[in-house]
Structure 1
Amino acid sequence: MGDVRATAQVAARIADDLARHGERPALRSATGTLTYAALDRRVATARDQLAALGEAQLVRLRPAPTIEFVVAWLAALTGGHATLLTHDDGLARAYGASVEHAGGHWLTTGSSAPRLHPDLRLLLSTSGSTGSPKLVRLSADNLDANAAAIASYLGLTGDDVALTTLPLDYCYGLSVLHSHLLAGAAVVLDDRSVTDPALWERARTEGVTSFAGVPYTFDLLGTAGWPELPTLRQVTQAGGRLAPDRVRALAGQGAREGWELVVMYGQTEATARMAYLPPELAATHPATVGVAVPGGAFRLEPVEGAGDGVGELVYSGPNVMMGYAETPADLALGSGPDELRTGDLARVTSEGLVEIVGRRSRFAKLFGQRIDLDRVQTLLGLGGYDAACAESVDGRQLVVAVPGRPDAAHLADVAAAAADGTGLPAHAIRVVGVADLPRLPNGKLDQQALARLESGPTPVVDSPEASIARLYARILGHPHVTADQSFVNLGGDSLSYVELSLRLESRLGRLPADWPDRTVAELAARLAPGSPRRNPVWARVDTTIALRALAIVLIVGSHTNLWVLLGGAHVLLAVAGVNFARFHLTDEAPRERVRRVARAAARVAVPSVLWIGAVALTRGEPGWRTVFLLNDLLGSRDWSEPAWYYWFIEVVLLLTVGAGLLTAVPRVMAFERSHRFPLALGLAVVALVPRYAAVLASYDGDVIHSTLFVAWLFLAGWAAAVARGPRDRTLVTAVLLAGCWGFTGDTARDLLIIAGVVVLVWVRTVPWPRLLVGPTGVLASASLYVYLTHWQVYPWFETRWPLGGLLASLAVGVLAWQVVNRAPAWVPSLRLRPSHYAPVQPTDEEVR
């Protein structure tokens, strides 16, 4: 088969002499417009500042649709440095990034740059969520050639205005920026979802002439409604195959409304684009990807058994990558082969148009992601699911075949596991039950037959909103959750917060700090293509979850004499204050606030009273005040064993109920809503008075275990939760330091408390090894039950095997927690959540 060629490309540089476009608008952001002349000056300044740090740096940039990012990227590009575009901190560390950009400044990381090839300019990740991390190495020539080719076949001019509808660490999204800068056009920088009407309102105001989309973009627009853009002249599509009927429909719509649809084909390995379908052919040849981009060429490599006229598509052109990088040493390598074997099987139509008909390898390209089908099967197998995978014939779905005629519930579980393992939206996964997996005569799986599977019982595929709503319903015990509801207004509390936050993180990646207040619909929007890729090694865990898990381990380990690290319970008091502010200070009527606090108190008090009562009945102690959690109110001011064993539970209950009743008073509620931080901080300061009065009066009672003297910790946690900005957090920190210093009489204990509360105030989420996320979530969720039961467990091991005492105590507490989770429906106040829902055990693949 001969070459399939297009016209020669235009030779130009993306960022050379930006000032040649003068005062034409280059970048339009929410903060204003930057002209090409101004952009050129800012890039030159940033380039000079970067040069002062040394030559040939490996620059790590976090991509974002902002002027600051674009300036930093162009400065690194024109300054001769190599840039790694990624949100993944682990990837940046693994490759030894030596410089980062933050807050408008270049910052050294402390690492020396690895050896870099002088032509290397850009590193982009190409593997999907189920592939091993691998980077594509691109040169300045690759970038310039591809941008010039795109600008040429799209006919871009200085009058065009593009909108950033795709992320800038995605080669397609970045190519939009490059090609428009090359043509002297304007780019509107915006990070809102295509389902957000405000995005399109701004697009109309800015006179946007084009936007780019992947197949899912058009699915979203089909649901949310096509935007009205009078100035629109062009819509481009790539990132996966769009069904021919959809191409034909969009082309027809464009013809009626005065804009063109340009279907394109590419891979990161070819910088961005390899082929485009001339818009006048979209309606008549919707199944093809068209012709090679200017300067590029295709040929077909024969493949045995592929069929007549079908072969592997091989591309050549100046935009073919330098090669892959799998280790830092690979960054010094020169260019590899001039050709790119795409892995796609294709044929050429009689009109000379390329048509992709399948994949040669066991990789699928769906929603802009490269999916390793064999790895998906392995992940499903590890989860206990026998299944086989293929890419559907139309290239729009992952087909998962499950043998043995499984029922609908089993298919739904497989669908959920496949979605978690791939990061694909649920509707992109087709799970089919079959009697037996289709196989070839040689015993191998019949990939073509798998790809065609459509019959059999298939589970209902949830939309992102429906999937998250169902997750909320299962964890929070609500029979029906709507898209406009949030965790807070559904009555979520600290007990359900742990499980739900980890489950959401597994689906969405890093969560915004205010996710409990965001609606299901707002969170579902984060499942759109282009959300940051999830780190395969590290996750972000809410600080309160990490502190709960660490504190309970420190508490039990200290009691078993494995170590002596006291103070964990006092850190948990501050955590309880944070959670009180998060989950109980909602915008609701006073009566509903009282009900909410009462429900939360019952979930702690009921299992505590039942357990302690059972212990008292069998052992004759502790006394009735301890059983009913009244020691702090009615007992001696000088606690002793075993009365003080459960002091923490008593204090948390008293403070939660007291604070809830106080803030349910209408005038206090009104003041709290308008002065959240001053009220919380003021109460914390007032609560320090008894703590210092006890010192001045030489009080001989138990200060560190009594509500009156430790309330400041809870209240300061409340203040930390509502603090806004560094000034507020500094004030909270000052109050906590004033209370902690010298509080327990043990410097080491005071320092541990200080460390815990300072982290709580200043750090919202912490990096956490992904393998430990599951155990951490379980310990945090079960911490109440571990605390309750460990007093009866560890003494059996205390003198002989302290580590065994810790492990046994944790195991018994987790078991008790699971038993309570499965309590019958007639004990609603005892259950933490619906009895049918499994405990938190996110796997390495689930949490990203």
Structure 2
Amino acid sequence: MIHSSPPLPAPRPAPRPNDSSGAAVHPATPAPPLPRPNAVPFARGLAAYGDRVALVTPQGQLSYRELADRVTDTAERLGPVRRLVLLAGANRADALVTHLAALSAGHPVLLVPGDSESTIRSLTEAYAPDVVARPHADGTWTLDERHPTSAHTLHPDLALLLSTSGSTGSPKLVRLSHDNLQANAESIATYLGIDDTDRAATTLPMHYCYGLSVIHSHLLRGAGLILTEQSVSEAAFWKEFRAARGTSLAGVPYTFDLLDRVGFARMDLPHLRRVTQAGGRLAPERVARYAEFGRRSGWELYVMYGQTEATARMAYLPPHRAAEHPEAIGVAIPGGSFRLQPVDGHGPDVGELVYSGRNVMLGYADSPADLAVGRTMEELHTGDLARRTPDGLYQIVGRRSRFVKILGLRIDPQRIETLLEEHGVAAYCAGDGETLAVTTLGEASGEAGTRRLIARECGLPAHTLRVRAVAELPRLASGKPDYEAVRRLTRPAEETASGPVEDLVRLYAEILDRADVTEDSSFVSLGGDSLSYVEMSLRLEEALGHLPADWHTRTIRELRILAAPGAQRPDERVRSVPRRGPGIRRALRTWASPHSWRTRRTLETGVVLRAVGILFIVGSHIRIFDIKGFAHILLGVAGYNLARFLLTDTTRHERVRRLWRSIARIALPSMAWITGAVLLTDFYDPANALLLNTLLDQGNDRFDWAYWFVEALVYFLIALALLTAVPLLDRLERRYTFGVPLALMTVGLVGRYDLLDLASARPQLSPSVVFWLFAWGWAAARADTVRQRAILTAVLLLTVPGLFQDQLLRTTIVIAGLTLLIWVPTLPSLGPLSALTGVLASSSLYIYLTHYQVYPYLQEDFPLTALFVSLVVGIGYATVVTRVARTVRWL
């Protein structure tokens, strides 16, 4: 039975207009009421559920009555005249309220990914929305009213516009009606048995039709939503889910990969009732396994099938049949039906799956003119090939549109994916002209075997197969396979449309160990930090010939445009991105290259300071020379990099996540190495291994204080992560980007002069004394005027003297190094020097960690050898840490 929506609340009385004196105006003839536009019933009926919890957010709970009030207020802001509202979707209350307000008042919504500036920009240009709703840089929500009335003719049935799968940013959109949304929500709520005691977590993005359907179907029944932007791979998500007594989880196949990694089968989730899966095929053995997990734990698994063109879902597999028919998509949802249309070349039991139901879209939109068009289709040709089993279940057997012809042979990429899966190989396959592109999950050593297997089973010559092993299969933001990325990743550089520069996506994926890199990604948006920044900048400059100062915030697409012929310097040419081994081998190979000596290069000053600094730190400890001060310079550089890579324009939750990730990348390798030193030598105490020596003040021995720099840096980052987690403080930093670090630096000067008597036995190494240098670096990264840089320079000249008592050279070095950082962004270099500098800079933390256990055994007789071996061991440890982190994915 299809459940109807709850009764609509009584309309609020309209306010009476006043004249200038404040008295009520009584018009002689009342104005006729405006015709009520079409709307989505469940969006108008929220108040009927009263005080039941509607939303559980990190900021608190919101009842249905409170939600309805906010929706009504926002609808009034949107006005009575229908307008096209572009909404930057996000799993947050502001976005959801705006979405519901538009649906309840009849304004069509163009829902786009909130984290993709390029998509927002391209669809704004293509469709000229009347209102743009999105978060401001400081986190506040804004409604940018671009047109007082609509610039478009809007069909009365039009409610929602969504990108089709894989076409985010494309002008081609799916047009959905008010009835589409209501009908699909009712069908889903019916077959899942959702009631007002349910609470579902928003594990999928709101702009994705599957994620949106979870929201709609639960709001329809007065159920609660756990509104979160956390990933299921994070402990914070499960803490929120348990605290909110979550009953429902939704996931695409990639979500289940993450669930496997975090040990979902062993979790204690007493309130969980159902787990739903859609968004792509889940391997039958995994369906059976999760169905068994659910049976043992008391929850049900619903495998589902859908497309954006059908609003969200068209079929579901009843849970009790998942174990015996894990390969099936099941039966049509309530109110829908399937038929099989014969396809040439296939037997009578296989045909294209065609769906009919109230949730079938109105049609596609390719331009604003299509917004005036009504229904153009009555049934949906899915493009999937299917068969109907004797017991009435449907099973997908292939994809009609994915078939490719190679040397006259008709090849089904999905069949090859299934074939490889049967042999234990996870893969995505896509046709690319007269070749088949295949990415597999695993090591490069398995590529040849995969190629032979496909050739043998499909009768294809090996030269028509492009196979590449990757650390993670490429997926879209929705978690679905990214087949365009499959084609791109497997193409040789010389075959790309833009020449070797096309390999930039692969370069970002390789260095940052990300599988979700697209042309609209930037170093910052992908979570790049100071530990990966050096290698990234050097490899990019080698590929492009020249990098702009703000390259880390530019998208790959923008960098490609800058590197295009005519956009580059006359004496530079675009070079292919090299695929090379670990840092030291790469540096030596570059050093030996004759071309590298003729290439004029530049290096960022921060990178040079890190490389030169670690050389002088280690050399001074060995006593080859006595040039000190660089550790304090590197504290300033650390603050500088913090502002550039961690305090970006992303969400507060993402900022905090990246800060904790950086803390882990520093603290865990440090604690692991120092623990070994504690166990194998007599120079350190357990407090050193726990990075607590400064707090516990173990003594004044030289080696007790060896790791003061690491301790100070970790303390500063932890404090900043805790402060950033406070919404008010996060908003203040976004609004006063230079003022906040300047204020923190001023507070830090209290510690610099130890006015509160907090300094330890070695004052210049105490975190309370040196914090102002870290805050100074943060402010330096935000200083974008001559006046601001002059203020910071004056601070150095006034406050560094006296920090090191009568050590004039050390004082001068600190002032000179930090002044260079703020006034001279880049320094000239040669190719070989750039490579070696990059290796030293990117490994500087690990060289600092390890050299204390190396040089004491060589410094008396072989000081230069001690320096060289210290550097090599540190670089080696950096390589080990990087590989371990990528293997276990804890960083």
Q: Please, what TM-score do these two structures have when normalized by structure 1? A: 0.54
Residue 722 in structure 1 maps to residue 773 in structure 2:
no
1:328-386 Cα offsets, whole Å, 9 max, x none, are 222221111110001111111111111111111127xxxxxxxxx79xx9xxxxxxxxx
Of 110, 122, 127, which residue of structure 2 is paired with 1:84?
110
Distance in 1, matches of 2:206 and 2:430, equals: 31
**Aligned residue for 2:202?**
164
Q: Which moved more, 1:34-43 or 1:119-128?
A: 119-128
Of 66, 74, 87, which residue of structure 2 is paired with 1:38?
66
Distance in 1, matches of 2:713 and 2:383, equals: 61
Of 327, 336, 354, which residue of structure 1 is paired with 2:367?
327
Distance in 1, matches of 2:560 and 2:305, equals: 49
Distance in 1, matches of 2:366 and 2:448, equals: 32
Distance in 2, matches of 1:543 and 1:350, equals: 56
Distance in 1, matches of 2:320 and 2:445, equals: 31
Residue 338 in structure 1 maps to residue 384 in structure 2:
no
Distance in 1, matches of 2:372 and 2:254, equals: 37
Residue 398 in structure 1 maps to residue 417 in structure 2:
no
**Aligned residue for 2:340?**
300
3-state SS in 2 of match to 1:159: coil
Deviation for aligned residue 1:41: 0.3
Change (3 A) 1:301 1:543: closer
Residue 94 in structure 1 maps to residue 126 in structure 2:
yes
Distance in 2, matches of 1:820 and 1:671, equals: 25
Of 527, 542, 558, which residue of structure 1 is paired with 2:552?
542
Deviation for aligned residue 1:544: 8.8
Q: Which moved more, 1:509-518 or 1:18-27?
A: 509-518
Distance in 2, matches of 1:731 and 1:821, equals: 26
Aligned partners of 1:577 and 1:717 also within 8 Å: no
* AA in 2 matched with 1:173: G
Deviation for aligned residue 1:300: 1.1
Aligned partners of 2:455 and 2:461 also within 8 Å: no
3-state SS in 1 of match to 2:97: helix
Aligned partners of 2:185 and 2:220 also within 8 Å: yes
Distance in 2, matches of 1:61 and 1:429, equals: 43
Aligned partners of 1:15 and 1:74 also within 8 Å: yes
**Aligned residue for 1:515?**
527
**Aligned residue for 1:223?**
261
* AA in 2 matched with 1:48: E
1:721-775 Cα offsets, whole Å, 9 max, x none, are 6149xxx9589775248799xxxxxxxxxxxxxxxxxxx99xxxxxxxxxxxxxx
Instruction: Point out where structure 1 has 5 or more consecutive residues left out of the alignment.
Output: 1-6, 364-372, 378-386, 439-447, 466-495, 521-539, 561-571, 602-663, 686-715, 741-759, 762-780, 790-812, 835-848
1:501-543 Cα offsets, whole Å, 9 max, x none, are 79998359355579344999xxxxxxxxxxxxxxxxxxx9525
Where relative contact order (Cα < 8 A, 6+ residues apart) is larger, the structure is 1
Deviation for aligned residue 1:674: 7.6
Distance in 2, matches of 1:730 and 1:788, equals: 25
Instruction: Point out where structure 2 has 5 or more consecutive residues left out of the alignment.
Output: 7-40, 114-118, 422-426, 475-506, 533-549, 573-600, 623-628, 638-704, 718-740, 750-771, 794-820, 840-864, 877-891
**Aligned residue for 2:142?**
105
Change (3 A) 1:582 1:312: farther
Q: Which moved more, 1:264-273 or 1:294-303?
A: 294-303
Distance in 2, matches of 1:19 and 1:390, equals: 49
Aligned partners of 1:581 and 1:721 also within 8 Å: no
1:379-419 Cα offsets, whole Å, 9 max, x none, are xxxxxxxx988124566742369999x9xxxx9xx767x99
Distance in 1, matches of 2:570 and 2:110, equals: 45
Aligned partners of 1:159 and 1:185 also within 8 Å: yes
* AA in 2 matched with 1:135: L
**Aligned residue for 1:184?**
222
* Identity, % of aligned positions: 40
Of 310, 313, 320, which residue of structure 2 is paired with 1:270?
310
Change (3 A) 1:65 1:556: closer
Distance in 2, matches of 1:49 and 1:284, equals: 53
Aligned partners of 1:18 and 1:37 also within 8 Å: yes
Distance in 2, matches of 1:28 and 1:165, equals: 14
1:285-337 Cα offsets, whole Å, 9 max, x none, are 22211111111111111112211211111101110011111222222211111
Deviation for aligned residue 1:241: 1.3
* AA in 1 matched with 2:778: V
1:62-95 Cα offsets, whole Å, 9 max, x none, are 2111111110110111121111111322223222
Of 61, 84, 87, which residue of structure 2 is paired with 1:61?
87
**Aligned residue for 1:471?**
none
Alignment of 1:342-357 (within 5 A): 342-357=382-397
Aligned partners of 2:165 and 2:308 also within 8 Å: no
Residue 259 in structure 1 maps to residue 299 in structure 2:
yes
Cα RMSD (Å) of the superposition?
6.0
Q: Which moved more, 1:302-311 or 1:86-95?
A: 86-95
Q: How many residues align?
A: 558
Alignment of 1:379-398 (within 5 A): 390-392=413-415, 397-398=427-428
Distance in 1, matches of 2:198 and 2:446, equals: 33
Distance in 1, matches of 2:154 and 2:443, equals: 37
Distance in 2, matches of 1:720 and 1:327, equals: 50
Of 735, 750, 753, which residue of structure 1 is paired with 2:788?
735
* AA in 2 matched with 1:153: Y
**Aligned residue for 2:250?**
212
* AA in 1 matched with 2:180: N
Change (3 A) 1:91 1:249: same
Distance in 1, matches of 2:146 and 2:443, equals: 36
Deviation for aligned residue 1:229: 0.7
Q: Please, what TM-score do these two structures have when normalized by structure 2? A: 0.52
* AA in 2 matched with 1:263: V
Aligned partners of 2:783 and 2:789 also within 8 Å: no
Change (3 A) 1:457 1:665: closer
Distance in 2, matches of 1:98 and 1:583, equals: 54
Q: Which moved more, 1:244-253 or 1:314-323?
A: 244-253
* AA in 2 matched with 1:462: A
Aligned partners of 2:399 and 2:412 also within 8 Å: no
Of 228, 233, 238, which residue of structure 1 is paired with 2:278?
238
1:548-575 Cα offsets, whole Å, 9 max, x none, are 9999x99998999xxxxxxxxxxx9997
**Aligned residue for 2:43?**
15
